Amino acid sequence: MKKDNRFKKYQAGLFCLLIVIAIFGSVGYVMGLPNMLNTIMKTAHDLLLNTVFYLMAICVITGALGAIFVEFGVVKLLERMLRPLMRPLFNLPGVASLGAVMTFLSDNPAIISLTKDKRFSTYFKKYQFISLTNFGTAFGMGLLVIVFMISQGFFVEPFIGFFGAFVGCIVYTRLMQRFILKSHPSFKDEPAAELSEADMQEQDAVKESSMFTRILNALLDGGKSGVDVGISIIPGVLIISTFVMILTFTTGGNGVYDGAAYEGVGFLPWFFGKINFIFEWLFGFEEPALMAFPITALGAVGAALGLIPGFIQEGWVDGNAIAVFTAIGMCWSGYLSTHTAMLDALGYRKLTSKAILAHTVGGLVAAMVAHWTFVLYSLVFGTPVTFQGGADRYSTVSNAPVVIEFVSDNQVKVGDRIFTDEAGHTPDAEGSLAHVIEVILFNNHETVTVEDGVKVDAAGFIAAEKLPESTRESLMNEVQAGFDMYCDRIAMQMYGKPLGELSDEERTAVMDAIPFRFDRQEVVDVELVSEEGAEMEEE
């Protein structure tokens, strides 16, 4: 009997040890133990420097902005404007809109600070009061998520995702209320709180500070709260994102493991690839690895945002993915890690399982709504260039001319994607802009139709005049190099030699077989290059 008790005492420890050995042993077997350890450290280090501090900067700015909004009554104004929506959509009193605004500007737990105010709580019945846990989580870190998505070069898609999150919030707030009333029917009429005589006499302190002091205090206090949020997301980003990335990515560009950052065993793409037909219909995910985002968002949306730069670098992200990520990121935003604490603060921890179930369903609905709304948007306003997943991270197929917009001194925008030069302006290196352009041209050349011998432009330069002359010239050189590399690739296919080594007759044959033309002297200053715009250029 004593031996059995002794074994049970250490059973959990042994079980945990076996799991750790199985996971890291499997990864180490594939990557090699030294490579695995180096990749873990380098990935975490890069995430800390290039993702966490970036997110922290956004948190500080948005925190200061939120504090200014609170200090000078913008939040109350928004609450007044949104109040008519609360009862018909969420079955909540109008003052609940204040919770939506506060959590949107900060994080999920902001709703708890409001519920501690008895004057706020008296507006609610108990079943409504408890459902604020789900309601507030829908908008938690919303401003951070949207600003981050915009910073990645996407502008319309985050707001499509916000609409999806709004619909998802309706679903799981009402679903949670239904669960509560089913298990606690008496909560339908019981008030969440009642004011005592002392509470009724309590008045807000009158602000006597000067305008300058109020502004300064709001900015600094809001910025400080942003630092706290930024620090709080460090463990999630470094631990969860590093682990998910190792399970998501594969070898580097040379096809072997060398311990570099962002290498991995590719387990998640393989696993979700087996059932991706489900997610492709529900979310529009053509790359199974994208499912890593919602999985990570279950624990921490900050960690999930840390995955996006890597996804963009791999060429897996398109406008639809950003819309779905925004919706599910806002809706879930780490609810598995916050719901227990939030309900415990309200005094209803026993309802945690019901809150999590309702939230899971609502998050899935939000993602589906975002996906199909994006599909509708694409049908009405035109489908942007879609970047597919796969071995070639720059692959895209479109029968429209390739449009390149200059963004900065080392970035160009192709379709709805921004590419950054990652190879120090070495044209033929993996990751250079020239390499990106060469691959895109090659992947499109079979779909381009040449009529009457008139070729389409390889690149329409948008807003080129907004850049300094040196920058514009440098980027044009990148496009020229990419076009030259593309011509050499076609020549190698036809004659086994680069274009410069061909005879005049062979060179002419290659150029005739290429549907694109490139004239660096033609700089187009338009907001959008369409098929009509391309015809205008030809004239």
Say if residue 370's pLDDT is above 50: yes
Output the DSSP codes for 214-266: HHHHHHHHHHHHHHHHHHHTHHIIIIIIHHHHHHH----TTSS--S-TT----
392: exposed, middle or buried (Cβ count in 10 Å: 0-12, 13-18, 19+): middle
Give the number of other Cβ atoms within 10 Å of residue 339's Cβ.
Answer: 23
**What pLDDT, in 10s, does the model give residues 424-435?**
556 656 567 777
Say if residue 183's pLDDT is above 50: yes
Q: For Cα atoms 147, 148, 154, give the angle at the middle one, nearest 5 degrees.
A: 85
- Closest by Cα among 25, 492, 518 to 265: 25
C-alpha span between 283 and 440 (Å, rounded): 25
Say if residue 243's pLDDT is above 70: yes
Q: Is there a contact between 326 and 297 (Cβ–Cβ < 8 Å)?
A: no
- Closest by Cα among 365, 390, 329 to 141: 329
What is the model's pTM?
0.60
Please compute, for residue 84, the number of CA atoms within 13 A of its CA located in the half-sphere on the CB side. Answer: 1
202: exposed, middle or buried (Cβ count in 10 Å: 0-12, 13-18, 19+): exposed
**What pLDDT, in 10s, does the model give residues 425-481?**
566 565 677 777 787 787 777 777 777 777 877 776 666 666 677 777 777 788 888
Give the number of other Cβ atoms within 10 Å of residue 209's Cβ.
Answer: 10
C-alpha span between 1 and 34 (Å, rounded): 44
Site of tokens 């209320």? 177
Among 7-11, 278-282, 300-304, 491-495, the least confident range: 7-11
**pLDDT for residue 522:** 53
**pLDDT for residue 385:** 35
Site of tokens 């922290």? 56
The CB-based long-range contact list for 505-509 (8 Å cut-off, 24+ gap) reads: none
Which 3-state string (H, E, C) describes 508-537?
HHHHHHCCEECCCCCCCCCCCCCHHHHHHH
Among 18-22, 187-191, 216-220, the least confident range: 216-220
Site of tokens 């995430």? 47
Mean pLDDT of the chain: 76
Largest CA distance in the chain: 98
Say if residue 536's pLDDT is above 50: no
- Closest by Cα among 521, 524, 488 to 506: 488
- Beta bridge partners, 418, equal 413
- Beta bridge partners, 411, equal 408, 420
Q: Is there a contact between 43 and 238 (Cβ–Cβ < 8 Å)?
A: no
Q: Is there a contact between 476 and 465 (Cβ–Cβ < 8 Å)?
A: no
The CB-based long-range contact list for 213-220 (8 Å cut-off, 24+ gap) reads: 214/71, 214/72, 215/68, 215/71, 217/71, 218/64, 218/67, 218/68, 218/70, 218/71, 218/72, 219/64, 219/67, 219/68, 220/64
**pLDDT for residue 175:** 94
C-alpha span between 456 and 459 (Å, rounded): 9
Q: Which residue has the higher pLDDT, 238 or 125?
A: 125
**Edge-to-edge strand ranges of the sheet holding 460-462:** 417-420, 411-414, 403-408, 460-462
C-alpha span between 444 and 112 (Å, rounded): 53
Q: Is there a contact between 192 and 129 (Cβ–Cβ < 8 Å)?
A: yes
- Closest by Cα among 307, 273, 297 to 389: 273
Q: Which residue has the higher pLDDT, 334 or 371?
A: 371
- Please give the structure tokens belonging to residue 295: 């999985």
Output the DSSP codes for 367-417: HHHHHHHHHHHHHHH-PPPPB--SS-TT-B--SSPPEEEEEETTEEEETTE
- Please give the structure tokens belonging to residue 67: 């504090």
C-alpha span between 332 and 366 (Å, rounded): 10
Q: How many helices (H) and strands (E) does the chain have?
A: 26, 6
